[in-house]
């Protein structure tokens, strides 16, 4: 007997070892009933083995070797090949059933960013997405902690599938980052040094990653993709390792650095270690934990420009370019960050600070797995 399954116009065969057993019995003119008697097994079991319903166990294989003179390894190899073929057939059927789910993910953008292999074959897309997320089936993605978390954060501007893909790429990068044991003290002490990197001079991103890794924080810089509108995210990978994931979709340095210190704020403030905090660029987004987000925002503002110092500058109402540049130099940050703060506080408009805002220059290797 041959078990035959059709898949996408092709035929897949899983040949049970019972076919060979039946042919052997016919050759030596032995009935199934006689074999059952010689083997000391129920006739029903012999019949089920021939039909592929019951497996040939090691004990059965040894019995067949004794009765039929065919080595046990032969029967066991037939059985193993049969079960493997059945598994492949089942897997192909499952892949086919997951094609519709795979369409929810921004596969083309993910492939363009080299997160996974480019392919137009629907079945291959399912396979690559499984490997990317580290799941045996795309249906298991809903079991991941970030799935439920992101569903609560989905808005008209965001897609839960794009969000999961983006944070997963951040996790993949972070897995390869060797970090020390997390130390809040070390991270706090590193902030003044990190703050000096806000000038975004060449190589700042590599130094940022190395500095944070020494404190037990893996920093991933992930290209933004459509449907995320995310500036940054934070989560704990383990009790000794935190992840700060930053997007380059909003490539202005003031937004990047505010996002970074915002995420660090979540870490140092000890906000819900089992939570994934996502900082969206969508101004209409209302966070579920508004107080925690406001606390992280406050931390970022103080880390970049202390409120007392900024308020003294703002009180003068001189927002000319020379005044902004002089103030920026006095506090040790680029003028663009001062401009961003002025806009955030409603004192200027973006077009008024555009001349001295700068865009990031990220090292290509910072996008790759280390």
Domain edge (last residue) among 98, 115, 135 = 98
Q: Is the dihedral of CA 294, 253, 232, 366 positive or negative?
A: negative
Domain identity same for 110 and 238: no
Residues forming a β-bridge with 11: 6
Domain identity same for 236 and 299: yes
Three-class SS state of 23: helix
What does the pLDDT look like over 314-363, one tens digit per residue? Answer: 999 999 999 999 999 999 999 999 999 999 999 999 999 999 888 887 76
Contact 179, 370 (CB under 8 A): no
Domain identity same for 192 and 48: no
Domain identity same for 188 and 308: yes
Span 45-66, average pLDDT: 96
Span 103-115, average pLDDT: 95
Q: Are strands 230-238 and 241-247 parallel, antiparallel or unpaired?
A: antiparallel
Span 79-96, average pLDDT: 92
Run of H or E residues at 136: none
Residue 286: how many other CB atoms lie within 10 Å: 9
CA distances from 4 to 11, 17, 21, 146, 312 (A): 7, 14, 18, 40, 80
* Distance from C-alpha of 45 to C-alpha of 35, rounded to nearest angstrom: 11
Q: Are strands 10-14 and 277-280 parallel, antiparallel or unpaired?
A: unpaired
pLDDT at 200: 81
Domain identity same for 132 and 201: no
Run of H or E residues at 37: helix 32-39
Domain identity same for 59 and 167: no
* Distance from C-alpha of 145 to C-alpha of 167, rounded to nearest angstrom: 12
Find where tokens 């937004």 sit: 255
Domain edge (last residue) among 82, 98, 114 = 98
CA distances from 149 to 38, 76, 103, 152, 289 (A): 61, 47, 21, 6, 12
Mean residue pLDDT across the chain: 88
CA distances from 157 to 104, 174, 230, 314 (A): 15, 26, 10, 34
Rg (CA), the chain: 31
Find where tokens 């980052």 sit: 177
Domain edge (last residue) among 143, 167, 196 = 143
Contact 132, 166 (CB under 8 A): no
Domain identity same for 92 and 72: yes
pLDDT at 3: 44
Domain identity same for 203 and 87: no
pLDDT class of 184 with cuts at 50, 70, 90: very high
Three-class SS state of 111: helix
Domain identity same for 182 and 266: yes
Report how many domains make up the chain. 3
The CATH number assigned to the domain holding 9 equals: 1.10.260.40
Own/partner pairs, 355-359, CB within 8 angstroms, 24+ separation = 355/321, 356/321, 356/324, 356/325, 357/252, 357/253, 357/254, 358/200, 358/252, 358/253, 358/334, 359/251, 359/252, 359/253
Contact 295, 269 (CB under 8 A): yes
CA distances from 249 to 225, 299, 360 (A): 7, 23, 10
Lowest mean pLDDT among 128-132, 146-150, 339-343: 146-150
Domain identity same for 153 and 220: yes
Tell if the pTM clears 0.75, that is, is over it: yes
Share of the chain above pLDDT 90, in %: 70
Residues forming a β-bridge with 13: 4
Domain identity same for 182 and 265: yes
Three-class SS state of 180: coil
Question: Inter-axis angle of helices 335-344 and 253-268, to 10 degrees?
Answer: 70
Domain limits at 161? 146-367
Domain identity same for 164 and 301: yes
């Amino acid at each position: 007997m041959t078990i035959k399954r059709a898949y996408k116009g092709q035929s897949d065969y899983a040949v049970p070892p019972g076919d060979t057993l039946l042919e052997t019995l016919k050759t030596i003119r032995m009935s199934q009933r006689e074999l059952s008697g010689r083997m000391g097994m129920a006739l029903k079991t012999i019949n089920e083995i021939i039909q592929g319903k019951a497996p040939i166990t090691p004990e059965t294989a040894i019995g067949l070797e004794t009765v039929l003179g065919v080595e046990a390894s032969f029967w066991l190899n037939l059985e193993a090949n049969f079960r493997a073929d059945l598994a492949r057939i089942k897997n192909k059927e499952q892949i086919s059933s997951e094609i519709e789910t795979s369409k929810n993910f921004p596969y083309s953008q993910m492939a363009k960013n080299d997160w996974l292999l480019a392919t137009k074959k629907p079945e291959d897309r399912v396979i690559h997405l499984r490997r990317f997320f580290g799941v045996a089936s795309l249906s298991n993605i809903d079991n991941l902690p970030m799935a439920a978390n992101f569903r609560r954060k989905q808005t008209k501007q965001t897609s839960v599938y794009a969000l999961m893909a983006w944070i997963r790429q951040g996790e993949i990068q972070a897995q390869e980052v060797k970090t020390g044991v997390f130390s809040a003290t070390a991270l706090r002490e590193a902030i003044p040094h990190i703050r000096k990197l806000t000038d975004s001079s060449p190589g700042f991103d590599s130094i940022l990653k190395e500095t944070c890794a020494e404190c037990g924080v893996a920093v991933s810089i992930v290209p933004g993709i459509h449907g995320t509108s995310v500036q940054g995210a934070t989560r704990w990978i383990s009790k000794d390792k935190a992840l700060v994931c930053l997007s380059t979709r909003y490539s202005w340095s003031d937004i990047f650095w505010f996002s970074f210190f915002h995420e660090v704020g979540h870490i140092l403030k000890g906000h819900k270690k089992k939570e994934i905090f996502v900082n969206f660029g969508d101004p209409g987004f209302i966070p579920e934990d508004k107080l925690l987000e406001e606390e992280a925002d406050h931390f970022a503002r103080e880390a970049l420009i202390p409120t007392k110092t900024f308020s003294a500058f703002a009180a003068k109402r001189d927002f000319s370019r020379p005044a902004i540049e002089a103030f920026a130099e006095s506090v040790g940050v680029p003028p663009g960050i001062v401009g961003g703060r002025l806009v955030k506080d409603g004192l200027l408009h973006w077009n008024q600070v555009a001349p001295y805002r700068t865009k990031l220059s990220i090292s290509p290797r910072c996008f790759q797995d280390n």
